[in-house]
Amino acid sequence: MENVTKVNEIENAEITVCENEKPKHGWLTKGGKFAKKAVMMATIASCMAMAGGIQAHAAGGVVDTSSFITTSCTVLKSVISLIGGGVSLWGIVNLLEGYGNDNAGAKSQGMKQLMAGLGLILLAIVLVPVLQNMMTGAV
């Protein structure tokens, strides 16, 4: 009989379910979404502007080879740096959002994006001048 009463007590016990709490700072989530969209739009606009600059340069008629290489390497360096800056900024937003909401996944993703963006900027600063020297020397 004792076992039956224990089972009845267990069946009648209330079960409390812990739901996910709202973030401590609600403005971080809204601001983070807006910042991500703004970074994406700025990156796309920058890439489109650079593409327009390349077309305008090529439409000028006869192009000297060395000036074309110099200009194209400058544009390449700018595009890679802008993309790296956008990825880095996106990573900073994710990092701040992760710290604000105490989310380890967002912190990790933000750090990866930040490092990838800085790597792209470093690549543009170091590698593009080397490529420019190689192409100029081959002509």
Per-residue pLDDT averaged across 89-108, rounded? Answer: 87
Which pLDDT tens digit goes with each residue over 67-80? 888 888 898 999 99
Contact between 95 and 107 under an 8 Å Cβ cutoff? The reply is yes
Asked whether residue 107 carries a pLDDT value surpassing 70, the answer given is yes
Q: Does residue 62 belong to any structural domain of this protein? A: yes
Per-residue pLDDT averaged across 2-12, rounded? Answer: 59
Using left for φ > 0, alpha for ψ between -120 and 50, and beta otherwise, residue 78 falls in alpha
Give CA 122 to chain center in angstroms.
Answer: 16
Q: Does residue 2 belong to any structural domain of this protein? A: no
Q: Does residue 130 belong to any structural domain of this protein? A: yes
Supply the pTM of this predicted model.
0.54
Domain that holds residue 110: 25-138
Q: Does residue 110 belong to any structural domain of this protein? A: yes
Residue 139 has a pLDDT of 72
Q: Does residue 121 belong to any structural domain of this protein? A: yes
What total number of domains does the chain contain? 1
Q: Does residue 9 belong to any structural domain of this protein? A: no
Extract the tokens encoding 64: 């000297």
Q: Does residue 8 belong to any structural domain of this protein? A: no
